[in-house]
Amino acid sequence: SLAVVFGTGLVFVNRWLTGPDGAHVFDVPASIVVTFSIAAAVVTLRRWMQASVAVMPSPRDRLLDRIGAGDGIRLSKVSSDNHHIRILTSDGAEHRIWMRLRDAGAEIDVEPGMFVHRSHWVALSEISRIEEEGGKEFVRLPGGAGVPIGPKYRPNLIEAGLLND
């Protein structure tokens, strides 16, 4: 519709500048087609340029957005704490928010990790080793902290190749 307005306007401006007997490049229908074609080309080119320049944000766990963690921060461990959860991040910060651990697990969609106990989720990158102590198995984290392995979650570690059957 704007092509009709601008195309017709272009013809009138052309006639005004060249006079009634001047050389007219286009008549009204041709001006509308040319105006529409130029506008479509400009819009298409602009969209193509915006799409090629747009930077896709790196994938990030939704749980990190919930705690306002900065760029480049990753999840290390998430543990249940009564009706709250404790979130340990790669920068060593600990956050405590009111949320169920099951819901927090649903918001971890990027960082590879697993539940090792009903109260603990651990990032695979944070598992240093697995030890047995007093008849119980523990996942050891880089700082030496131990997270118990629940019998229900033991197959997760076996499947990941971190524990022998």
pLDDT in tens, 23-67: 656 666 766 777 777 778 888 888 887 776 656 666 889 999 999
CB of 81 closer than 8 Å to CB of 98: no
Mean pLDDT of the chain: 84
The average pLDDT across 88-111 equals 93
pLDDT band at 164 (very low <50, low <70, confident <90, very high): confident
Give the chain as a 3 state SS string: CHHHHHHHHHHHHHHHHHCCCCCCCCCHHHHHHHHHHHHHHHHHHHHHHHHHHCCCCCCCCHHHHHHCCCCCCCEEEEEEECCEEEEEECCCCEEEEECCHHHHHHCCCCCCEEEEECCEEEEHHHCCEEEEECCEEEEECCCCCEEECCCCCHHHHHHCCCCCC
CA-based end-to-end distance of the chain: 72
